[in-house]
Structure 1
Amino acid sequence: MFPLLLLLVPAAHAIVQLPYKPALTQSPRLEGATTASTFVLDQPRCVFDNYSNTDIWLVVALDEAAFNNTSAPGTNETSFQHFPDPVRAYMTLNATLANYPCPKPLRDITVLRVGSETSCVGDNARPTCNGPLPGPGPYRVKFLALQGSKPVAETDWSAPITLRTAKPASSISTTDSRHSAGMIAITTILSILFAILLAGLVAMLVFWRRAKGSITFTPQPGHSALTGCPCAAGEGC
């Protein structure tokens, strides 16, 4: 009987593996699921329903083997400020079941942006900072439920998540099959010449209108001021 109890004790403290795999959001209303320093996940709605008295954490790691479930959040072993070297995984975005209601309410925000905080990047008092990710990765994430400091349930690891990288200016081609560099230069020159021609035409029209308005007719003696014709003898002009 005693050996049987010894076998049951580890099983009672085993972490429950939940059939959920975190993934980048596919919401059509949200653009930029990945940036150079952030990525957006769907919230784990209806995943931790049986763990109402736990804290739910997001684990961000460089690979699956980088995280040890015995590590507690907020310690040097899981500090964002020391990621990715020497810390290879950290815990962030602490939440409870109330933050992930099931079913999800309409018009509710149901995503998490990882890497969105900048104010706590260098603050060692905030080891669970959700700070910008330091490189393109790839990263893997999972959700972990802790009861006190003891892990009780966790999801699967996500697929590798790679962030966007900026292209160097030297790699951007100035030519392609539709717009060569020469065509762009010719188009620019023609646009400038057209602008100069248009400005000259407008200036000429303004000068002509002013010149026309300043011309007045001064009648000569013996001419009508109205018609400009000589007056007939005996007629009043």
Structure 2
Amino acid sequence: MDNSRRLGPAMGLSAGQCQLLMSLLLLLTRVQPGTGVAAPEHIHYVPQLSKDTLAGRLTQSTFTLEQPLGQFNSHNISDVDTIWLVVALSNATQSFTAPQTNQDIPAPASFSQRGYYLTMGASRALYQGSQASSQLRVLRVGNDTHCQLTKPGCNHPLPGPGPYRVKFLVMNEKGPVAETDWSNDTRLQQAQELPAVRGPQSPGTVVIIAILSVLLALLLTALLAVLIYTCFNSCRSTSLSGPEKTESVRRYTTHLTFSTPAEGSS
């Protein structure tokens, strides 16, 4: 005898009414408290960092995840549903609220206010297969430096060291369908400052610095002397020319005057 037949006589309800009551109870167990919206199906899967020794597995703005292969085979998930990756700060996971429509999907531009955003939307056809495949299949979070921060799904580089946590969220046009567990904390690499040299310098170092300083001074003096000598010789060998003055020379012709003897009259 099922539960509806047991509850029927006890509550004075008919079999049909009990069946309806049980259906309502099952529906209420999937409704999120205070929202009136059915809660998404829970998938028991924890996103993992890539186990392969990849270059750039963890950087100052990206990290690499294993693809969740074979995790979205539930009958509630269809091939047209979008599987999003939720990226959140560790202290913002408790306040995360799944968007109810595609228009409500948070973009990276709101990350500083919300503490989370959705990125890398894909269909479950991308995640079919098994981890035993020889093909390397990973997801690199924060790998797109050219996408717009205001565009939903933008995989922009992460703004700080974290720590971050991620999970996968399946959505259709009606809202969230299924979701996985949150990952463990992931901290990105941080730039390290070079240690400063402290303490007095050794006597040998001081002697070497002094010798190099003297040699440098001698070299500069020699170069200056060569420069002065070259300029001096160049100035002496250059002839200075001025404007030519044209003079006119007058020539005088000397006319000799001869006196003619007077002719005598006879």
Deviation (angstroms), 1:155:
0.9
Is 2:22 the counterpart of 1:4? Answer: yes
User: Which residue does the alignment assign to 2:135?
Assistant: 108
Cα deviation, 1:157-188, whole Å, max 9, x if unaligned, reads 0001111110134xx2558xxxxx86xx69x9
Out of 79, 87, 92, the residue aligned to residue 107 of structure 2 is 79
Name the larger-Rg structure: 2
Mapped to 2, the partners of 1:162 and 1:72 lie a distance apart of 31
Question: Counterparts of 1:126-141 in structure 2 under 5 Å?
Answer: 126-141=151-166
Instruction: Specify every segment of 5 or more residues in structure 1 that has no aligned partner in the other structure, as ranges.
Output: 176-180, 193-237
Q: Does structure 2 retain, via aligned residues, the 8 Å contact 1:72–1:78? A: no
Deviation (angstroms), 1:70:
3.7
Q: Does structure 2 retain, via aligned residues, the 8 Å contact 1:66–1:89? A: no
Q: Does structure 1 retain, via aligned residues, the 8 Å contact 2:145–2:157? A: yes
User: Which residue does the alignment assign to 2:85?
Assistant: 58
Is 2:67 the counterpart of 1:67? Answer: no
Cα deviation, 1:49-74, whole Å, max 9, x if unaligned, reads 22343211100011321310245455
User: Which residue does the alignment assign to 1:167?
Assistant: 192
User: Which residue does the alignment assign to 1:212?
Assistant: none
Q: Does structure 1 retain, via aligned residues, the 8 Å contact 2:102–2:173? A: no
How many residues align structurally?
178
User: Which residue does the alignment assign to 1:204?
Assistant: none
Cα deviation, 1:79-132, whole Å, max 9, x if unaligned, reads 21121x21211111001111112135844231000001111244x2x2220000
Percent identity over the alignment is: 38
Question: Counterparts of 1:3-22 in structure 2 under 5 Å?
Answer: 3-11=21-29, 13-22=38-47
Question: Counterparts of 1:1-237 in structure 2 under 5 Å?
Answer: 1=17, 2-11=20-29, 13-28=38-53, 30-50=54-74, 51-53=77-79, 54-63=81-90, 64-73=93-102, 75=104, 78-83=106-111, 85-103=112-130, 106-122=133-149, 124=150, 126-169=151-194, 172-174=195-197
Which AA in structure 1 matches 2:94?
A
Q: Which one has more relative contact order, counting CA pairs under 8 Å at least 6 apart?
A: 1
Which AA in structure 1 matches 2:171?
L
Using the size of structure 2 for normalisation, the TM-score is: 0.58
Instruction: Specify every segment of 5 or more residues in structure 2 that has no aligned partner in the other structure, as ranges.
Output: 1-16, 31-37, 213-266
Deviation (angstroms), 1:38:
0.5
